[in-house]
Amino acid sequence: MDALPLEEEAHDTTEVLLVLDGRLELTVEGVDTTVGPGEMYVVTAGARHAVRTGSQGTLVIVEVREEGR
């Protein structure tokens, strides 16, 4: 994460966002949240979400596909 915002988006799969270091400034369905180092946030499939300015560090994104997809 380089401190720059990313536009709002939604995906067909659930995403698990794991912050290894730094912090993730996230807006999910209009609600702002901060995810810190060692914490994770689950964005369910179809949820509108965006990364806000100020997010810095290392983020791992894991897509969780439903069985049969």
Q: Note the pLDDT tens digit of each residue in 5-49.
A: 999 999 999 999 999 999 999 999 999 999 999 999 999 999 999
| pLDDT band (50, 70, 90) for residue 68 | low
Secondary structure tally for the chain: helices H, strands E: 0, 6
- Counting every residue, how long is the chain? 69
Q: What is the pLDDT of residue 69?
A: 56
43 contacts 49 by C-beta, under 8 angstroms? yes
7-19: per-residue pLDDT in tens? Answer: 999 999 999 999 9
Q: What is the pLDDT of residue 28?
A: 98
Output phi, psi for 30, to 5 deg. Answer: 85, 0
